[in-house]
Amino acid sequence: MTPPEPIITRFAPSPTGYLHLGHAYSAKLAHDFAVNNGGKFLLRIEDIDQTRCKPEFETAIYDDLHWLGIKWELPVRRQSDHGRDYQNALNVLQKKDLLYPCFCTRKDIQQEIIQSGYAPHHLGLDHESEPPYPKICANLSEPEKEAKYEAGTVYALRLNMDKALDILGSEKLIWSDLVAGEQWASSEILRDVIGDVVLARKDIQTSYHLSVVVDDHLQNISHVIRGADLFYASHLHRLLQFLLGYRTPIYHHHKLLTDENGNRYAKRDKSLTLHHLRKQGQDPKNIL
């Protein structure tokens, strides 16, 4: 009999603002699940976007969690220290010819979308109003690419979703979500909603989706406990796990906390940040 896998959960905030009550809920859920099952709880700082991350927000993450009495294993993984891991994953995808350079600006993409008369797909997703990339750079010839490289045009790397789905063929990519039950990657969502997603941004040579999948793998996360706003991202994460040869964790997408008007908590609501509540002298027990 194979021994049961160790339970390892994580809380993975981005230091782009102060944590709010929703973060406290998410961190506590992940922490308690690990501790109650004899597992480990990790903290990961998702700071790849150095233009939006600030050291004071990172410090506040540690202080807020300490204040709430939530303890994590050391060392903390800071994504900005691990560019090489993301590059290695990109190399694997590149070898399978699954990436292509995209030289488009945001404006190029918007113009193309308007011209094509894009009609959104109604799959009931939060982000259905954001159309997939219209594949402008998907079929550039080698000389066209060379000319752009030579001119020093910066580029992102996009996943060629059609090729990825060809590799997948008829295989069904399943995962289990402790709230929503068994799930499987939908080619409709992958092709028509997510599309040729950026895996390496022009400025940071990685992306949220790539980094989170690589890190969950390298840190042996057994249960990804996070907000329901990332529920549909799991279709892409599951596909990337398949393409990179990683095993798939169990997911738990928890409901998002809302204020009395039904609005989600956001980092911009200053009065409801943990930092503010802590400085006000609130009792952390009341928060929990």
Binding positions for ligand GLU, rule: CB under 6 A:
12-14, 46, 212, 226, 230
CA angle 77, 82, 84 (to 5 degrees): 155
Supply the minimum distance, in Å, between the C-beta of residue 96 and ligand GLU.
24
Q: What is the dihedral of CA 79, 85, 86, 92, to 10 degrees?
A: -160
Strands (E), the chain: 8-11, 40-45, 77-78, 99-102, 156-159, 174-177, 181-184, 198-200, 223-227, 250-254
Pairing of strands 99-102, 156-159: antiparallel
Burial class (CB within 10 angstroms; exposed 0-12, middle 13-18, buried 19+) of 155: middle
Closest CA to 254 of 13, 29, 18: 29
Specify the residue, 207 or 278, whose C-beta has the smaller distance to ligand GLU.
207
Tell me whether residue 104 or residue 234 sits nearer to ligand GLU (CB atom): 234
**Scanning the structure block, which residue is given the tokens 């109650």?**
36
Q: Three-state DSSP class for 24? A: helix
Least distance between ligand GLU and beta carbon 253 (Å) = 10
> In whole angstroms, what is the distance from residue 284 CA to residue 143 CA?
61
Distance of closest approach, residue 15 Cβ to ligand GLU, in angstroms: 9
Q: Which helix (H) or strand (E) holds 65?
A: helix 55-68
Q: How far is the CB of 14 from ligand GLU (least distance, A)?
A: 4
- Which CB, 30 or 102, lies closer to ligand GLU? 30
Q: DSSP of 118-171, one letter per residue?
A: -----S--TTTTSPPP--TTTT--HHHHHHHHHTT---EEEE-HHHHHHHHTT-
Min dist CB 233 to ligand GLU, Å, is: 7
Nearest CA to 189 out of 263, 122, 109 is that of 122
CB of 74 to ligand GLU, least distance (A): 19
In degrees and rounded to multiples of 5, residue 157 shows phi and psi of -110, 125
Q: How far is the CB of 251 from ligand GLU (least distance, A)?
A: 10
